[in-house]
Amino acid sequence: MVDVSGKRVTARVAVARGRVYMHRATLELLRGGATPKGDAIATAHLAGVMAAKRTSEIIPLAHPIPLDAIELAFDLDGDSSSVGIEARVRTRARTGVEMEALTAVTVAALTLYDMLKAVDRGMVMGEFALWEKRGGRSGVFRRR
């Protein structure tokens, strides 16, 4: 584990995104709230929040970090027949929250798959990436 004891406590933010592609009929079921296992978006939201909070238990050598906020947003896109997922995580700590944001997005995507697999086993999860990071010595990163 990296020694962060010499770093200053600063406000830090990370934004990660991912996407789950599915059949159009599956997206319409999701949009209509008629999925077999219940409210898939609400369940994926809760799973993402829980995953962000437990990142240090999932990712070896990740620091346990006190999180100030975890926000997840889901965008149902009919053109690409997919659900976009965005996680924004904030803290005041000695190290960043990039892994927490990425973990939130990936677990939310896995949860959508689990909630919808009875109607669409061909879903594809991907495009997981850090889109923004602020705070700390390295400053600001924004994906273009």
Number of H helices, E strands in the chain: 4, 5
Residue of 3, 68, 77, 114 marked active site? 114
Beta-bridge partner residues of 18? 85
Rounded Cα distance between 132 and 52, Å, is 16
Rounded Cα distance between 88 and 108, Å, is 13
CB distance 66 to 91 below 8 Å: yes
Rounded Cα distance between 11 and 1, Å, is 21
Task: Return the number of other C-beta atoms located less than 10 Å from residue 39's C-beta.
Answer: 13
Q: Is 77 a catalytic residue?
A: no
Active site residues: 114
